[in-house]
Structure 1
Amino acid sequence: MVTGRHRWWRPVAGTALVLGGAVAAALLVLLGAEIAGAALGKPVDKDGLRVWGGIGQMAQGLLSLALLLPVVFLAARWVQRRPGGTVSSVVGRLRWDWLVRCLLLALPLVAASLGVMLLLPGASGDGTDDMVWAGLPDFLLGLAMVCVLVPFQAAAEEYVFRGWLTQAVGAWCRSPWVAILPQAPLFAAAHGWGTPWGFLDLVVFALVTGVLTLRTGGLEAAIGLHVISNLLAMGLSAAIAGALASDETAADMDAVSVCVDVVMICGYAALVLWWAGRRKVEAVGTGRTADDGDDR
């Protein structure tokens, strides 16, 4: 969003604040885990860090990402001098009713695609040791952790990439469509380097959700797909012994799984755009905010 207070340096300074905030959040979570681990007598690994197990390690990673939400809002308010809610949508806030509809729309599509992937040959390795039940206590603990943290983690990633970065680049571009391009490879790279197919899948996800953000005027559609995808995938991992401790991400997907996922992503996008048109979801703001009558 470009406001009457826009200056060329504000997107740069704000992006630096977001990056610095990401590092600070990771260090803060690590420090908290070390202090709590020492108090609870957790063992120490070869690097001198407290060992929390797969569920604990995953929780630390998700929490580090979730803490980027307030960082983005502060960058908008402090650096760009605009309400933090303008990162959410053109109406200056998250449209909760539209978000709920997007979540409900994503649920059966993501569940179906995940089911297809599980049925693909080789999905469970050799079929002997890869899919071992985690046990009820570990499953419930892991599932609770996933349900509490994943919505914030997935939303934070959307606020950073489809929200902040897209708007920061868009502040310098005449066409808003150009703004969605840089965030896509950055989003894919942030998930690590796995297979070329996995990288492509993440780029497609970022581009499609970027288009949805522009066409629907907000992050709700992107958040809906991201939250449901991560909830179902990590919820399934919670049921498998050791799966939450794995370093694998979507970046490690194989070619066939990527084909299934891309079909689901494009199908979701088509349905969202159709539904947004039927409901006349506002895609262009009025150009005014509570504290700047010159916003546009």
Structure 2
Amino acid sequence: MIPALDVLAGRATPPFLAQTTPRDRDGRRVALMALAGPVAAIAASFAVILAVFGAGRALGVPHNVVGGELGDLPRLLKSSVYIVEVGIGLAAAAAGLLLAARLIFRRPFHSWITVAPRFRWQVLAWGAAAGVVAILALSLISVLMPQSGEAPILDAGEPLKQRLIYMAAVSLGFLIASWAEEVVFRGYLLQQVGVFTRRVWLVLLINGVIFALFHLEFDPGALAARALLGMVFAWATLRLGGLEFGIGAHATQNLGVAMFGEVLLPTSAPTAIKLSELGFELVLAVVILACVEWLYRRRTLAALAEA
């Protein structure tokens, strides 16, 4: 097993970063990707969302929450549709970006996803479990330090059927959205930055900062929290040799916010986190990192991650 400090210091190259080729360092290809990647992502997302909205209208079921349709829908159901819509749009954008990368750098799609021969659903499940453990730890802390939040799934004022639909829809939507974000930030971006520096700590920092800025919410607390989690998910990717764990943990973390925090809608206010509340984010990060290291020490996974 490779010591974590050796990876951070650049004395050992994580296999996930080793999947790059000389083409990834070609300045012309990198420049072309910088132009074509966003265009492909936007075009794919736009086309898929239009297809979804068009199918809804053809079936007589308009469901464009972002455009203002279904204004009379109960808020949990409206949030359910909204989160699934966002997930589909993000997934289409990620697929467009991967297609552009595939054509420009001439690498197989899976090389941006995992070092394993196939996607490891078991590792994704471990990531989701780590997210649950982290949420439980935060819940225990919040008993001593109460935090504000709606906890919509516990609200007896909401019909049980709507709460069940909400739980199912946001679980699916966040799983899709987490796959998309991990592919873009911990798949393509992590490897692309990694070809230009052996300083893994710097790769992690850049990844976390760009991930935070991408959400376009510039509250200092929110930026710091997202940057920290972005770095944690990036470390999980490098340590375990793929995106699977990060997808599971990322989805669970978002799910915890939706179920025990706020109902997410297009009109939701930007996230604001007091700097004094960042201790909760640190607890979340420590728990996930501990789970990553524990899982890394499982013999079969460690052998794969170091292959």
Q: TM-score range by the shorter chain?
A: 0.7 to 0.9
Once the two structures are TM-superposed, the CA of residue 85 in structure 1 deviates from its matched residue by: 0.7
One-letter identity of the residue aligned with 1:275 = L
Q: Distance in 2 between matches of 1:170 and 1:188?
A: 18
Which residue does 2:264 correspond to in 1?
A: 244
Q: Distance in 2 between matches of 1:143 and 1:49?
A: 23
Q: Distance in 1 between matches of 2:106 and 2:182?
A: 21
1:87 aligns with 2:107: no
1:265 aligns with 2:274: no
**C-alpha distance 24-108 of structure 1, shift in aligned 2 (>3 A):** same
One-letter identity of the residue aligned with 1:79 = I
Which segment drifts farther, 207-216 or 3-12? 3-12
How does the TM-score come out when normalised to structure 1?
0.78
Question: Which secondary structure state, in structure 2, belongs to the residue aligned with residue 102 of structure 1?
Answer: helix
Once the two structures are TM-superposed, the CA of residue 175 in structure 1 deviates from its matched residue by: 3.7
Which of 151, 156, 169 aligns to 2:180? It is 156
Once the two structures are TM-superposed, the CA of residue 157 in structure 1 deviates from its matched residue by: 0.5
- Structure 1 segments, 4+ long, off by >6 Å, are none
Which of 224, 227, 230 aligns to 1:203? It is 227
1:21 aligns with 2:40: yes
- 8 Å contact 1:216–1:281 — kept in the other structure? no
One-letter identity of the residue aligned with 1:9 = R
Q: Distance in 1 between matches of 2:121 and 2:231?
A: 23
Post-superposition CA distance 1:87-115 (Å, at most 9, x none)? 12233543333332232233222233256
Once the two structures are TM-superposed, the CA of residue 65 in structure 1 deviates from its matched residue by: 1.1
- 8 Å contact 1:212–1:269 — kept in the other structure? yes
**C-alpha distance 208-34 of structure 1, shift in aligned 2 (>3 A):** closer
Question: Which secondary structure state, in structure 1, belongs to the residue aligned with residue 264 of structure 2?
Answer: helix
How does the TM-score come out when normalised to structure 2?
0.75
Which blocks of at least 5 consecutive residues in structure 1 are unaligned? 286-296
Which blocks of at least 5 consecutive residues in structure 2 are unaligned? 1-18, 72-77
Instruction: Calculate the aligned-residue CA RMSD, in Å.
Output: 3.3
Question: Which secondary structure state, in structure 2, belongs to the residue aligned with residue 247 of structure 1?
Answer: coil
1:98 aligns with 2:118: no
Which residue does 1:292 correspond to in 2?
A: none
One-letter identity of the residue aligned with 1:147 = S
Which residue does 2:295 correspond to in 1?
A: 275
Which segment drifts farther, 200-209 or 181-190? 181-190
- 8 Å contact 2:170–2:258 — kept in the other structure? yes
Which residue does 1:291 correspond to in 2?
A: none
One-letter identity of the residue aligned with 2:46 = L
Post-superposition CA distance 1:22-69 (Å, at most 9, x none)? 322442354245435655375999x97534643323322121112234
- 8 Å contact 1:55–1:142 — kept in the other structure? yes
- 8 Å contact 1:118–1:124 — kept in the other structure? no
- 8 Å contact 2:80–2:166 — kept in the other structure? yes
Question: Which secondary structure state, in structure 2, belongs to the residue aligned with residue 141 of structure 1?
Answer: helix
Which residue does 1:11 correspond to in 2?
A: 30
Q: Distance in 2 between matches of 1:37 and 1:94?
A: 32
Q: Distance in 1 between matches of 2:175 and 2:286?
A: 22
Q: Distance in 1 between matches of 2:39 and 2:228?
A: 27
- 8 Å contact 1:161–1:183 — kept in the other structure? yes
Once the two structures are TM-superposed, the CA of residue 256 in structure 1 deviates from its matched residue by: 4.5
One-letter identity of the residue aligned with 1:91 = A
Q: Distance in 2 between matches of 1:43 and 1:213?
A: 35
Once the two structures are superposed, the pairs formed by residues 36-185 of structure 1 within 5 Å of their partners are 36=55, 38-39=57-58, 40=60, 50-51=69-70, 53-91=78-116, 93-114=118-139, 116-117=141-142, 120-121=145-146, 123-124=148-149, 133-185=157-209
**C-alpha distance 157-124 of structure 1, shift in aligned 2 (>3 A):** closer
Q: Distance in 2 between matches of 1:174 and 1:37?
A: 48
One-letter identity of the residue aligned with 2:20 = V
Q: Distance in 1 between matches of 2:70 and 2:31?
A: 37
**C-alpha distance 226-195 of structure 1, shift in aligned 2 (>3 A):** same
Once the two structures are TM-superposed, the CA of residue 2 in structure 1 deviates from its matched residue by: 2.3
Which residue does 2:50 correspond to in 1?
A: 31
Q: Distance in 2 between matches of 1:135 and 1:88?
A: 40
Q: Distance in 2 between matches of 1:219 and 1:203?
A: 17
Q: Distance in 1 between matches of 2:85 and 2:106?
A: 31
- 8 Å contact 2:171–2:255 — kept in the other structure? yes
Which segment drifts farther, 267-276 or 110-119? 110-119
